């Protein structure tokens, strides 16, 4: 758990926890206030709670899909390295590599853009991601050479070799893409006030 040794990560985790606690306390206060103002209406309280859940149910899968489309391994039948003798590749690249990169995983997405054709843009995401597949497979093979297992030396080497692709070609563009889809949806909806 090298990630937990990073003071920046611990501070981020603590602030995220405090923010989540604040969100939950605000929800409890809002629920109580709605209950009081509606003379104890269970329907009004349920409507408030449902309104808080709907955005998560609707938008989280779309954001996850966009991130998945940016991962070249998700676009091939060799996603786990089973065809190239790199078994367990998906877990090493998608889950463990970001942890190994840790505090050096600084994203720099461009600003969100209006998408003239969101459906067509999905295919451009896939094509733009897939071109990195051979590079990732080759660099992972290089990181594995001369090592007896998948310990710290392997992940340090993998982070040096594949980390820049992860930052610049996968995660930063995925953040930009997600923002662009939300921005496009907001624009198409007439740019309603966000409160």
In this structure, the chain runs to a length of 195
- Give how many domains the chain has, as a whole number: 1
pLDDT of residue 84: 92
- Cα separation of 72 and 170, whole Å? 8
Task: Over range 132-155, report the average pLDDT.
Answer: 91
Domain annotation covers residue 99:
yes
**pLDDT value at position 8?**
67
Establish if 133 belongs to a structural domain.
Answer: yes
pLDDT digits (tens, 9 = 90+) for 74-132: 888 888 899 999 999 988 888 888 877 776 777 788 899 999 999 899 899 998 888 89
pTM of the model: 0.64
**How many beta carbons lie within 10 A of that of residue 162, not counting itself?**
25
Q: In this structure, which long-range contacts are made by residues 102-106, counting pairs with CB atoms below 8 Å and at least 24 apart in sequence?
A: 102/2, 102/3, 102/6, 102/9, 103/6, 103/8, 103/9, 104/159, 104/163, 105/163, 105/166, 105/167, 105/171, 106/167
Domain membership of residue 173 (yes or no) is: yes
For 151-182, write each residue's pLDDT tens digit.
Answer: 889 988 998 898 888 888 888 888 889 889 88
Give domain status of residue 136, yes or no. yes
Q: What is the pLDDT of residues 2-42, one digit of tens each?
A: 656 667 666 767 777 787 788 788 888 888 888 888 888 88
Q: Domain containing 47: what range?
A: 2-188
């Amino acid at each position: 758990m090298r990630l937990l040794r990073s003071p920046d990560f611990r501070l981020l985790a603590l602030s995220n926890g405090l923010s989540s606690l604040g969100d939950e306390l605000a929800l409890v206060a809002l629920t109580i206030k709605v209950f009081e103002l509606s003379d104890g209406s269970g329907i009004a309280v349920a409507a408030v709670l449902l309104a808080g859940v709907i955005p998560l149910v609707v938008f989280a899968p779309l954001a996850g899909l966009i991130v998945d489309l940016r991962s070249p391994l998700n676009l091939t039948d060799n996603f786990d390295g089973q065809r190239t003798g790199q078994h367990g590749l998906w877990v090493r690249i998608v889950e463990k590599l970001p942890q190994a990169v840790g505090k050096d995983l600084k994203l720099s997405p461009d600003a969100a853009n209006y998408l003239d054709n969101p459906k067509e843009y999905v295919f451009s995401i896939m094509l733009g991601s897939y071109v990195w597949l051979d590079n990732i497979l080759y660099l992972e093979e290089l990181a594995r050479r001369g090592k007896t297992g998948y310990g710290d030396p392997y992940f340090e080497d993998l982070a040096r070799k594949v980390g820049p692709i992860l930052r610049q070609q996968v995660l930063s563009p995925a953040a930009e893409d997600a923002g662009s889809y939300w921005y496009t949806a907001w624009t198409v909806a007439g740019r309603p006030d966000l409160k």
